[in-house]
Amino acid sequence: MTSRTIKTVVHFSSEFLLSGFDGPQRPGDYRVDHDEEQIQDLSRIAWRRVGAYIHLPAIGSAGTTMRMVPINIDELDRALKKDLAQL
C-alpha cells in the first residue's frame, strides 16, 4: 500500500495543551505531520489519514530533546480555534 506524509506548520499565540502532553506548550510555530495511506480504487485516487504527529518543542525553541507526539487531529483543530478566539 502506498503512503505519504504531509508536513505542515501550525501557530499558537498562547499556551496550549493536548492529550499526551506532559504539560502546556509555549506559544510558537509547531511542525505537524499527517500520515496518509492510499485507498485502492479503480476510478480515482483517494487518501485516508492514519495518523498525525506534532514535533516538540516549537520551531526555534531552545531545547536538547526533540520528540514527535501522536495527536488527535480534531483536538488540534479545536485548540487552534480556541487560540484564534483569544486574539
Q: Where are the domains of the chain?
A: 3-85
The answer to whether 30 and 55 have CB atoms below 8 angstroms apart is yes
Burial call 34-54: b when 16+ CB within 10 Å, e when fewer? bbbeeeeeeeeeeeeeeebbb
pLDDT digits (tens, 9 = 90+) for 44-79: 888 999 999 999 999 998 776 889 999 999 999 999
Give pLDDT, residue 51: 95
Instruction: Name the pTM for this structure.
Output: 0.88
